[in-house]
Amino acid sequence: MSKKLNSFILPDSVTEEMKNKLREGFEKEIELGFSLCLSQNSNVLKVGEQCTGGECSIALPSKCEGNDTYAGAYHTHPHESSRPSSQDIPIIYNRGLACIGGIENDKEEIKCYIRNVPRDIEAPYRFKDKLVFIRDRSERRKEIDKFVKDNFMTIDVI
């Protein structure tokens, strides 16, 4: 069954590719991912350009083939859950759609985050300024999760 991601459709073939990347990244202990692209006049997401390691965590690729348009990106967390990291926040906020694969309690999970508030270009900066004073790991996690809850709709893919 394909999945609805707000106005987009995530076909099973793309979900399978997400799972493959999650497993491969876990074995190789690196982040892997790819762009999510759309053909013209289509709302069905497809796999675009691939990324490895730092490319995925610092700047997600934003390339799609030919006339395809960029819709968002997927990347994996080989050692962590599918919740966005603090570095992920500005990227996924600005791009609007991001899917993340990770491992939580020994279980594979993939979640997609879709911004459901109008883009405020200052918001990621305010978030960063707030986080800079929080040293405690679990407090930081709470603050990140709160930002996600306030700004995104979260959809469980697996």
Q: How far is the CB of 57 from Zn ion (least distance, A)?
A: 6
Torsion on CA atoms 80, 127, 135, 144, rounded to nearest 10: -30
Q: How far is the CB of 62 from Zn ion (least distance, A)?
A: 16
Instruction: Please compute, for residue 115, the number of CA atoms within 13 A of its CA located in the half-sphere on the CB side.
Output: 18
> Of 24-83, which residues contact Zn ion (CB under 5 A)?
none
Number of residues that bind Zn ion (CB under 5 A): 2
Q: Is 109 in the site for Zn ion (CB under 5 A)?
A: no
* Cβ-based nearer residue to Zn ion, 65 or 80: 80
Q: How far is the CB of 152 from Zn ion (least distance, A)?
A: 14
The packing angle between helices 123-131 and 88-95, to 10°, is: 170
Distance of CA 65 to the CA centre of its chain: 20
Structure token digits, residue 21: 């990347």
Distance of CA 153 to the CA centre of its chain: 12
Q: How far is the CB of 88 from Zn ion (least distance, A)?
A: 4
Q: Which residue is nearest to Zn ion (CB)?
A: 88
* Cβ-based nearer residue to Zn ion, 39 or 57: 57
Q: How far is the CB of 118 from Zn ion (least distance, A)?
A: 24
The packing angle between helices 123-131 and 137-151, to 10°, is: 160
Binding mask 75-104 for Zn ion (x = CB under 5 A): ----------x--x----------------
With CA atoms as reference, report the closest residue to 111 among 60, 152, 79: 152
**Footprint of Zn ion (CB under 5 A):** 85, 88
